[in-house]
Amino acid sequence: MKGVAVVVAVLVVAVLSALAGLTAGINLNPQSTVKFVPDWGSVGDWVSGIGALLAVIASLYMVQRSERFQLERDREQLMLVQEPDLAWLTLRIGCSGLRACAVKDIRVSHGKNHRSLKHDFTPKYKDALPCKLDPGESIEFHWSNAELKPIVSLVRSLGLKSLEGLYFEVVTGISVHRYALDESTIDVLKEGADAFGITLLDDGAPPF
Protein backbone atom coordinates (compact mmCIF):
# COMPACT_ATOMS: atom_id res chain seq x y z
CA MET A 1 0.00 0.00 0.00
CA LYS A 2 2.84 2.40 0.77
CA GLY A 3 4.22 1.69 -2.70
CA VAL A 4 0.91 2.66 -4.32
CA ALA A 5 0.81 5.93 -2.35
CA VAL A 6 4.39 6.74 -3.36
CA VAL A 7 3.69 6.08 -7.04
CA VAL A 8 0.55 8.27 -6.97
CA ALA A 9 2.42 11.06 -5.18
CA VAL A 10 5.28 10.93 -7.70
CA LEU A 11 2.83 11.10 -10.61
CA VAL A 12 1.05 14.10 -9.10
CA VAL A 13 4.34 15.93 -8.52
CA ALA A 14 5.49 15.09 -12.06
CA VAL A 15 2.30 16.45 -13.64
CA LEU A 16 2.39 19.64 -11.56
CA SER A 17 6.07 20.16 -12.39
CA ALA A 18 5.37 19.69 -16.07
CA LEU A 19 2.54 22.22 -16.02
CA ALA A 20 4.64 24.74 -14.10
CA GLY A 21 7.57 24.29 -16.48
CA LEU A 22 5.33 24.64 -19.53
CA THR A 23 3.73 27.83 -18.17
CA ALA A 24 7.05 29.38 -17.23
CA GLY A 25 8.69 28.44 -20.51
CA ILE A 26 5.95 29.90 -22.67
CA ASN A 27 5.54 33.11 -20.65
CA LEU A 28 9.28 33.80 -20.48
CA ASN A 29 9.71 33.39 -24.24
CA PRO A 30 6.88 35.45 -25.78
CA GLN A 31 8.96 36.20 -28.89
CA SER A 32 9.03 32.56 -29.95
CA THR A 33 5.51 31.52 -29.13
CA VAL A 34 2.13 32.77 -28.17
CA LYS A 35 1.80 33.83 -24.56
CA PHE A 36 -0.24 31.20 -22.78
CA VAL A 37 -1.45 31.12 -19.18
CA PRO A 38 -3.47 28.02 -18.32
CA ASP A 39 -6.45 28.20 -16.03
CA TRP A 40 -5.21 26.51 -12.88
CA GLY A 41 -8.61 26.62 -11.19
CA SER A 42 -9.67 27.88 -7.81
CA VAL A 43 -8.42 26.76 -4.40
CA GLY A 44 -11.68 24.90 -3.90
CA ASP A 45 -11.05 22.86 -7.05
CA TRP A 46 -7.60 21.88 -5.79
CA VAL A 47 -8.92 20.93 -2.34
CA SER A 48 -11.67 18.86 -3.94
CA GLY A 49 -9.23 17.11 -6.25
CA ILE A 50 -6.77 16.30 -3.49
CA GLY A 51 -9.62 15.00 -1.33
CA ALA A 52 -10.77 12.71 -4.13
CA LEU A 53 -7.21 11.42 -4.59
CA LEU A 54 -6.86 10.70 -0.87
CA ALA A 55 -10.22 8.92 -0.92
CA VAL A 56 -8.98 6.63 -3.72
CA ILE A 57 -5.76 5.87 -1.80
CA ALA A 58 -7.76 5.14 1.37
CA SER A 59 -10.07 2.82 -0.58
CA LEU A 60 -7.11 0.91 -2.02
CA TYR A 61 -5.61 0.58 1.44
CA MET A 62 -8.85 -0.79 2.91
CA VAL A 63 -9.22 -3.29 0.08
CA GLN A 64 -5.68 -4.59 0.52
CA ARG A 65 -6.10 -4.73 4.29
CA SER A 66 -9.30 -6.74 3.88
CA GLU A 67 -7.54 -9.14 1.50
CA ARG A 68 -4.66 -9.65 3.96
CA PHE A 69 -7.13 -10.34 6.77
CA GLN A 70 -8.99 -12.84 4.61
CA LEU A 71 -5.76 -14.62 3.70
CA GLU A 72 -4.86 -14.75 7.39
CA ARG A 73 -8.25 -16.29 8.17
CA ASP A 74 -7.86 -18.88 5.41
CA ARG A 75 -4.29 -19.84 6.29
CA GLU A 76 -3.99 -22.87 8.53
CA GLN A 77 -1.68 -22.31 11.49
CA LEU A 78 -0.51 -25.01 13.87
CA MET A 79 2.03 -25.13 16.65
CA LEU A 80 3.80 -28.16 18.07
CA VAL A 81 5.29 -27.87 21.54
CA GLN A 82 7.77 -30.55 22.61
CA GLU A 83 8.07 -31.09 26.35
CA PRO A 84 10.64 -33.82 26.93
CA ASP A 85 11.77 -34.96 30.35
CA LEU A 86 13.63 -37.95 31.74
CA ALA A 87 11.91 -41.03 30.21
CA TRP A 88 8.95 -38.83 29.32
CA LEU A 89 7.81 -36.99 26.20
CA THR A 90 4.80 -34.74 25.68
CA LEU A 91 3.72 -33.34 22.33
CA ARG A 92 1.11 -30.59 22.37
CA ILE A 93 -0.54 -29.64 19.08
CA GLY A 94 -2.40 -26.34 19.05
CA CYS A 95 -4.46 -24.41 16.53
CA SER A 96 -2.84 -20.95 16.61
CA GLY A 97 -4.61 -19.34 13.66
CA LEU A 98 -8.11 -18.14 12.89
CA ARG A 99 -9.08 -21.27 10.97
CA ALA A 100 -10.07 -24.61 12.51
CA CYS A 101 -7.57 -27.45 11.92
CA ALA A 102 -8.38 -31.08 11.20
CA VAL A 103 -5.44 -33.10 12.59
CA LYS A 104 -5.23 -36.52 10.97
CA ASP A 105 -1.85 -37.96 11.93
CA ILE A 106 1.50 -37.42 13.65
CA ARG A 107 4.61 -38.76 11.95
CA VAL A 108 8.34 -39.01 12.44
CA SER A 109 10.11 -38.08 9.20
CA HIS A 110 13.53 -37.64 7.64
CA GLY A 111 13.75 -36.40 4.06
CA LYS A 112 11.03 -38.16 2.08
CA ASN A 113 10.73 -41.04 4.55
CA HIS A 114 8.18 -40.94 7.33
CA ARG A 115 6.55 -43.24 9.87
CA SER A 116 3.17 -42.71 11.52
CA LEU A 117 2.92 -42.63 15.30
CA LYS A 118 -0.86 -43.04 15.23
CA HIS A 119 -0.68 -46.81 14.86
CA ASP A 120 1.49 -47.14 17.97
CA PHE A 121 -0.56 -44.97 20.31
CA THR A 122 -1.33 -46.36 23.73
CA PRO A 123 -4.99 -47.37 24.27
CA LYS A 124 -5.91 -43.99 25.79
CA TYR A 125 -5.03 -42.27 22.48
CA LYS A 126 -6.28 -44.88 20.02
CA ASP A 127 -9.31 -42.79 19.04
CA ALA A 128 -7.70 -39.38 19.50
CA LEU A 129 -7.07 -38.89 15.77
CA PRO A 130 -8.45 -37.61 13.54
CA CYS A 131 -9.67 -34.63 15.52
CA LYS A 132 -10.82 -31.09 14.87
CA LEU A 133 -9.16 -28.21 16.71
CA ASP A 134 -10.93 -24.87 16.77
CA PRO A 135 -8.82 -21.69 17.12
CA GLY A 136 -7.14 -21.66 20.52
CA GLU A 137 -7.71 -25.38 21.19
CA SER A 138 -4.96 -27.99 21.60
CA ILE A 139 -4.46 -31.69 22.14
CA GLU A 140 -1.67 -33.45 24.04
CA PHE A 141 0.01 -36.83 23.68
CA HIS A 142 2.20 -38.32 26.39
CA TRP A 143 4.73 -41.13 26.24
CA SER A 144 6.54 -42.35 29.33
CA ASN A 145 9.00 -45.14 30.08
CA ALA A 146 8.16 -48.19 27.93
CA GLU A 147 5.68 -46.13 25.89
CA LEU A 148 8.67 -44.41 24.25
CA LYS A 149 9.77 -47.64 22.59
CA PRO A 150 7.52 -47.28 19.50
CA ILE A 151 8.97 -43.84 18.75
CA VAL A 152 12.52 -45.10 19.21
CA SER A 153 11.74 -48.08 16.96
CA LEU A 154 10.24 -45.84 14.29
CA VAL A 155 13.33 -43.64 14.25
CA ARG A 156 15.50 -46.74 13.93
CA SER A 157 13.37 -48.03 11.03
CA LEU A 158 14.17 -44.90 9.00
CA GLY A 159 17.72 -46.24 8.53
CA LEU A 160 19.43 -42.98 9.42
CA LYS A 161 23.15 -42.30 9.36
CA SER A 162 22.64 -39.12 11.40
CA LEU A 163 19.87 -37.69 13.55
CA GLU A 164 20.19 -34.30 11.85
CA GLY A 165 17.16 -33.37 9.79
CA LEU A 166 14.75 -35.41 11.91
CA TYR A 167 11.21 -33.98 12.10
CA PHE A 168 7.81 -34.46 13.62
CA GLU A 169 5.09 -33.99 11.02
CA VAL A 170 1.51 -33.03 11.83
CA VAL A 171 -0.76 -34.06 8.97
CA THR A 172 -4.00 -32.12 8.52
CA GLY A 173 -6.77 -32.23 5.96
CA ILE A 174 -5.02 -29.67 3.76
CA SER A 175 -1.31 -29.65 4.63
CA VAL A 176 1.68 -31.25 6.35
CA HIS A 177 3.39 -29.16 9.02
CA ARG A 178 7.02 -30.05 9.89
CA TYR A 179 8.81 -29.34 13.16
CA ALA A 180 12.45 -30.19 13.83
CA LEU A 181 13.06 -32.33 16.90
CA ASP A 182 14.42 -30.33 19.82
CA GLU A 183 17.84 -31.34 21.14
CA SER A 184 16.22 -32.28 24.45
CA THR A 185 13.73 -34.52 22.60
CA ILE A 186 16.59 -36.27 20.80
CA ASP A 187 18.35 -36.74 24.15
CA VAL A 188 15.24 -38.46 25.55
CA LEU A 189 15.08 -40.75 22.51
CA LYS A 190 18.76 -41.62 22.93
CA GLU A 191 18.19 -42.44 26.58
CA GLY A 192 15.21 -44.59 25.62
CA ALA A 193 17.23 -46.36 22.93
CA ASP A 194 19.93 -47.21 25.48
CA ALA A 195 17.30 -48.49 27.91
CA PHE A 196 15.60 -50.67 25.27
CA GLY A 197 18.85 -51.84 23.67
CA ILE A 198 18.00 -50.24 20.33
CA THR A 199 20.50 -48.47 18.10
CA LEU A 200 18.97 -45.30 16.65
CA LEU A 201 21.35 -45.08 13.70
CA ASP A 202 21.81 -47.61 10.93
CA ASP A 203 25.12 -49.35 11.54
CA GLY A 204 24.36 -52.44 9.50
CA ALA A 205 23.08 -54.40 12.48
CA PRO A 206 19.52 -55.83 12.63
CA PRO A 207 16.98 -53.13 13.56
CA PHE A 208 15.76 -54.78 16.76
Q: What is the pLDDT of residues 116-146, one digit of tens each?
A: 988 878 788 888 999 999 999 999 998 888 8
pLDDT of residue 67: 64
Position with higher pLDDT, 201 vs 3: 201
Position with higher pLDDT, 1 vs 202: 202
Q: pTM of whole model > 0.85?
A: no
> If you average pLDDT over every residue of the chain, what do you get?
78
Backbone angles phi, psi at 79, to 5 degrees: -125, 150
Kindly state the average pLDDT of the residues 166-180: 92
pLDDT of residue 139: 94
Rounded (10°) angle between helices 149-157 and 183-196: 100
Least confident of 21-35, 56-70, 134-148: 21-35
Burial of 108: CB neighbours in 10 Å, binned 0-12, 13-18, 19+ = buried
- pLDDT band of residue 30 (cuts 50, 70, 90) is low
Q: Is the pLDDT of residue 206 over 50?
A: no
Spatial CB neighbours of 172, under 8 Å, sequence gap ≥ 6:
76, 78, 101, 102, 103, 104
pLDDT of residue 123: 82
- pLDDT band of residue 176 (cuts 50, 70, 90) is very high
**Domains of the chain, each with CATH number or no CATH:** 2-74 (no CATH), 78-196 (2.60.40)
Kindly state the average pLDDT of the residues 55-71: 69
